[in-house]
Structure 1
Amino acid sequence: MLACVAFSCPNLEAFEIRTADTAINRITGDELGRFVAEKKSLSNLKIEGCTHLGFLNLCSSSLSTLWLSDLYSISKMIINCPNLKEISLDFSRKENDSTDLITMVDGLGRSCPNLRNMHIASIRLSHAVVLALTSANLRGLRMLSLVLGSAIVDASVAAITSSYPNLELLDLSGSSISDCGIGMICNVFPQTLSRLLLALCPNVTASGIQFATAQLPLLQLIDCGMTICDPSVQNVHLEGDGLPNGDGSCELNYQKKVTNPKLHQMYQKLIIKHGQLKKLSLWGCSGLDALYLNCPELNDLNLNSCTNLHPERLLLQCPNLENVHVSGCQDILRGAIQNQVFNDFTSLEDQFPCKRLADGSKRVQVPRFLDQQPSCNEKGRTRQTLCAVHVS
């Protein structure tokens, strides 16, 4: 297939392979390396299902974006692409993956000096890997995502902050950093960081999240999914497709939980007042029982599976909300959210029946009142009067 593509498209600039659930990608590292070397105009390469590569040797002066997922036991990795700007490497979740990540990131620093965006997802990520990365010559990094590395700790954050002072996105989801690490992040990035992702970081508390939002004025996105968890829930299994979203974040999901009734339940409250925040994700934060938001620019709020959030301890002062996700929440909490985001006009709900989105989720539509003039905020923009509450 690669040979046919190479022959038929001599001036190919972008190439992407996606795999269905039952598909198997049998492309080897030798075949992929030869393909990249022949395509002198190729700048964008994204391939799923890279389980059979074995080794990787990519040399290209034109390649600027490289995404590879499902990598497994790569014996040798050489990526000599001096103009590469963005790289995403998603590794298999198998415990016996033998890829040497330390050697890999050290090589990237030498052969890809112009990297700006880096995303690595692997359960083998560790503090040693971070040290190898920070010693590499990658001073131009603006987006750094190191996902699923439970061995990444506060010392790793210290190395990152001292080496990359201009980060705009930092994703340490699945790590073991604590509120102390968040303090380091706030000290170094108050003038640059706009996206912070800390999903499934069990040592981070609501106080740390609250501190981050108070000290990082440019934040537009923060993801704390499964971070503030019910202490009676253990053994959470984290998954993700490893590939970054359009905003640079990585989707993570949890599958399994085991309840231990002997653990003392201590719930937390979260208070956020922020003038720039647009997206807040608290999915799976079952240890959260109170939430107070004063975020005039917030348009997307994810409260899926916030099972212990009390309706009487919820305050949403977010006039521009467009989407609120409440799947897995109590019905009484859904009602409280609807009352607040609909400006207490829920009595007219029956006149505006629910619709369903393309993905099958339920959408509750806010009526747009014909006799109500649109109000403008201090910046002169028309206020958003339509919000969708997704309940399934």
Structure 2
Amino acid sequence: MIVIQRLVLSFLGPLDVVRLSSLNKSFYLSAMHSQCLDLADIDDESSYAKLAPFYRHAHELRLHRSFALPACLFHLMKFHSLQQVSLHDVVCLADDHLASLTSHAPQLRHLHVEGSHGLADPQLKLPVIETLVFRYNLMLRSLSFPPTQSLTEVAVTACPSFVEFDALLAAAPRLQSINFSQSNALVRFQCIHHPELHTLLLDRCAQLSFLELQVPALKLLNVQLCGHLQQAVVCASQLQSVSFSMLTSLVVLYLDCPRLTRLNLTGSTALSPSGMTLECPLLKQVQCDGTALRDVVL
């Protein structure tokens, strides 16, 4: 019977779960074990306090397009069993909310925060976090948390105020994937202490001027539309393909990539043969403007 009740509840929205549980004690007990609280597009923010007791054992929280006041949001930031959280366009979300959320959920593994412009410098507790994604948070400057070995994927994109890139990388030595695309405050990027990193995306970083990578496991590298990038040094023994397209200020390029077979230099018009040093014996395919660079490379 309990299995059937939980199946019925899985087809209902959160508010319907509360209404049904208030009429039937048996359903009430089943509702207490609901695994996912999905609050996308729910207009009645005052109901958060009523919903919280029914979802205290939830493993997943989705809160999208919410205009709830700060006090109402705190009712959703105290679940102890959360493993996955998605917060999109939560207008009043602030640093204190994320601090409460992460301190109450020690098993949190995936955190995605997007379009919440009240965030600035949240202090987080993420002992077992695996994926950390922050997108389009205009006022976000930093993310602070104790060093963790579990974090493997981080994306901070389109957060123009974010500046603490080095501190973020230092707190996660076992990163495998980094995406800092559209980071207007990123000026210099050096990565030499992440031996497991295999993916790096740095597209549309308007102020990026210097890039240095010594990453033996790197397999995917995209650095495109970074108009101020002048120097790039890449040492990556596993890298097979790289795109350095539309880098109009690039004048120095050093690649020590013995397995590299494809190189895209389209639109990097300032780069001349004298500015390139390529230690890439397997390089066979080069995309670039004109024939001068291609003739030198191949």
CA shift for structure 1 position 104? 2.8
- Look up the match of 1:365: none
CA shift for structure 1 position 90? 1.0
How has the CA–CA distance of structure 1 residues 11 and 74 changed in structure 2, closer, same or farther, with 3 Å as cutoff? same
TM value normalised by structure 1: 0.51
CA shift for structure 1 position 183? 3.5
- Look up the match of 2:55: 60
How has the CA–CA distance of structure 1 residues 54 and 172 changed in structure 2, closer, same or farther, with 3 Å as cutoff? same
CA shift for structure 1 position 325? 8.1
- Look up the match of 2:294: none
1:213-272 deviations in whole A, cap 9, x for unaligned?
21222222333222244xxxxxxxxxxxxxxxxxxxxxxxxxxxxxxxxxxxxx835343
CA shift for structure 1 position 276? 1.1
CA shift for structure 1 position 85? 0.7
- Look up the match of 1:201: 183
- Look up the match of 2:66: 72
CA distance in 1, matches of 2:183, 2:148: 22
How has the CA–CA distance of structure 1 residues 53 and 145 changed in structure 2, closer, same or farther, with 3 Å as cutoff? farther
CA distance in 1, matches of 2:83, 2:154: 16
Matches within 5 A, 1:1-392: 10-12=5-7, 30-31=15-16, 39=31, 42-44=34-36, 50=41, 52=43, 54-55=45-46, 56=48, 57-58=51-52, 59-60=54-55, 62-69=57-64, 71-75=65-69, 76-77=72-73, 78-79=75-76, 81-91=79-89, 97=91, 99-109=92-102, 111-128=104-121, 130-131=122-123, 134=124, 138-153=126-141, 156-157=142-143, 160-161=144-145, 163-166=146-149, 168=151, 169-173=153-157, 174-178=159-163, 181-190=164-173, 192-205=174-187, 208-209=188-189, 211=190, 213-229=191-207, 268-289=209-230, 291-298=232-239, 301=242, 306-308=246-248, 313=253, 315=255, 317=257, 319=259, 329-330=266-267, 343-344=283-284
Q: Give the aligned residue type for 1:344.
A: K
CA distance in 2, matches of 1:287, 1:216: 25
Give the unaligned 5+ runs of structure 1.
1-8, 17-26, 230-266, 347-392
How has the CA–CA distance of structure 1 residues 321 and 343 changed in structure 2, closer, same or farther, with 3 Å as cutoff? closer
CA distance in 2, matches of 1:34, 1:302: 55
CA distance in 2, matches of 1:106, 1:295: 37
Count of residue pairs brought into register by the alignment: 259
CA distance in 2, matches of 1:51, 1:119: 19
CA distance in 1, matches of 2:171, 2:184: 23
Asked if the contact 2:181/2:204 (under 8 Å) is kept, the reply is yes
CA distance in 2, matches of 1:187, 1:177: 16
- Look up the match of 1:261: none
1:51-106 deviations in whole A, cap 9, x for unaligned?
6353533432553233343x2312323235432111111116xxxx3x24245324
TM value normalised by structure 2: 0.64
Q: Percent identity?
A: 11
CA distance in 2, matches of 1:35, 1:285: 55
1:12-44 deviations in whole A, cap 9, x for unaligned?
49979xxxxxxxxxx7x7447668976566535
CA distance in 1, matches of 2:109, 2:18: 23
Asked if the contact 1:296/1:318 (under 8 Å) is kept, the reply is yes
Q: Give the aligned residue type for 1:274.
A: V
Asked if the contact 1:316/1:341 (under 8 Å) is kept, the reply is no
